[in-house]
Amino acid sequence: MKENIKDKVVIITGASSGLGEATALYLAQYGAIVVAVARRKDRLESLVKRIGSQGGKALAIVCDVTKREDLERVARETLKAYGRIDVLVNNAGLMAQAPLEKLKVDEWDKMIDINIKGVLYGIAAVLPTMQKQHSGHIINLSSVAGLKVAAGRGTVYSGTKFAVKAISEGLRMETAKDNIRVTTLYPGAVESELKYGSSDPEASAGIQAFYKEYEIPADSVARAIVYAIEQPEDVAINEITLRPTKQEF
């Protein structure tokens, strides 16, 4: 069913590394037109060049998802270039874990800005276009920490990812009438820069040790995203949880 991916215009946030980069490469292989969005211009340009060398189509747009105007600009530039927006992958995220008693309030704010407001700003940027098209697909990256609280160091991170779950379910119910599909992914330990997000030495060491033991490749998530997108228009894959086989949490 990969023909359902061909020529779809897909915006991917956090596309400069990890899950976003892997997803961009995977979707481009199946003929999607990728709009790669992130803050690091050099990494985006390298990704677009790589996709182009493999015969794919991609556009790089520098964007900070904590700024609503940046995501509105992404939507405008995408429409100007391709005339439509078929899929948004809200992938950008920050995992700055530490016990609450460490009072990493600045990091709490950053996680809220990226993991919650960034998702909402992305939705706000593309939703009017998708409603006008009477078609579209919004894919939000939560986490297994959005299903179970990572007590001890991940309370605020879990809170942001539970929020993504709630936002996604509400969006699904509200937009079903508009023929818009909504998918939420709950990955476990997947290889990415996410594991380097904490400034707390003890928490950071624990996270990195956990990932070293359990992590699976970033394209594990990319394959799940491809599966959700490739379904016929009348089929919505609403939730996907994927973990390393041996991961308990």
Q: For 14, left (φ over 0), alpha (ψ -120 to 50), or beta?
A: left
Would you call 157 a catalytic residue per the annotation?
yes
Q: For 208, left (φ over 0), alpha (ψ -120 to 50), or beta?
A: alpha
Give the whole-angstrom CA distance, residue 226 versus residue 240.
12
Selecting among 26, 121, 157, 211, the annotated active-site residue is 157
Predicted TM-score of the model (pTM): 0.94
pLDDT in tens, the chain (249 residues): 577 899 999 999 999 999 999 999 999 999 999 999 999 999 999 999 999 999 999 999 999 999 999 999 999 999 999 999 999 999 999 999 999 999 999 999 999 999 999 999 999 999 999 999 999 999 999 999 999 997 777 899 999 999 999 999 999 999 999 999 999 999 999 988 777 878 888 878 888 888 888 989 999 999 999 999 999 999 999 999 999 999 988
CATH placement of domain 2-242? 3.40.50.720
